[in-house]
Structure 1
Amino acid sequence: MEKSKNQLITEKSIRLLQQNQYTFHVDSKLTKTEMKNWIERFFDVKVEGINSSRVAKKMKRRSKLSLNSASRKKMIARLRANYLIPLFLN
């Protein structure tokens, strides 16, 4: 199962980097515990906590056809002091 789909780069996620918090779009079936374990093993860091939220579906209209985009899940991982993920810019 694919754990992390991609990193999320928005103004808010960049501000959260200063507080040692990293934002990811993840598989909607993933639990907080699974995400925490995956981040700790993959990046060799210690996670203090995980916050998650579901991103609402968006309605897209193209001519007479209406399409719904898939719902997504966003997780914010808060790392312990003195740990960082080098893929993100601080």
Structure 2
Amino acid sequence: MQRAYEIIIKPILTEKSYGLMQERKYTFEVTKDATKPEIREAIEMIFKVKVEKVYVMNMKPKPKRLGRSEGYSRSWKKAIVKVGEGYVIRELQGSL
């Protein structure tokens, strides 16, 4: 199922997302047209875990400036995935 690898663009690894990993929540950037059921299936297929809940946010563009030129950053979609009890995504754990 190649579609699963197209839905999940990349994991988001920040201090806040590492804090959420303690609560079994993992953060990903996903395609803008992805739905919660599609994200759930993609994560379960790629990482072989059971997903309990999917939270989705549309991130709005922020104003940016470089010298005299002004513009906006891109808009994107973020998904926070809570995995079931006893499951972890070892690829994202790092040194935790």
Same fold (TM over 0.5): yes
Question: How far off is 1:70 after superposition?
Answer: 1.5
- Partners of 2:33 and 2:25 lie apart in 1 by 22
Greater mean alpha carbon deviation, residues 32-41 or residues 64-73: 64-73
Matched, 1:61 2:65: yes
- Partners of 2:40 and 2:19 lie apart in 1 by 21
Out of 78, 81, 86, the residue aligned to residue 82 of structure 1 is 86
The aligned length equals 90
Q: RMSD value over aligned CA atoms?
A: 1.3
Matched, 1:20 2:19: no
- Partners of 2:30 and 2:79 lie apart in 1 by 7
Structure 2 SS opposite 1:35: helix
Structure 1: gaps (5+ residues): none
**CA distances 1:9-52 after superposition (whole Å, capped 9, x unpaired):** 12221111111110011111111110000001111111000001
Identity %: 34
Residue number in structure 1 paired with 2:74: 70
Question: How far off is 1:74 after superposition?
Answer: 0.8
Runs (4 or more) in structure 1 with deviation over 4 Å come to none
More helix by share: 2
- Partners of 1:13 and 1:34 lie apart in 2 by 21
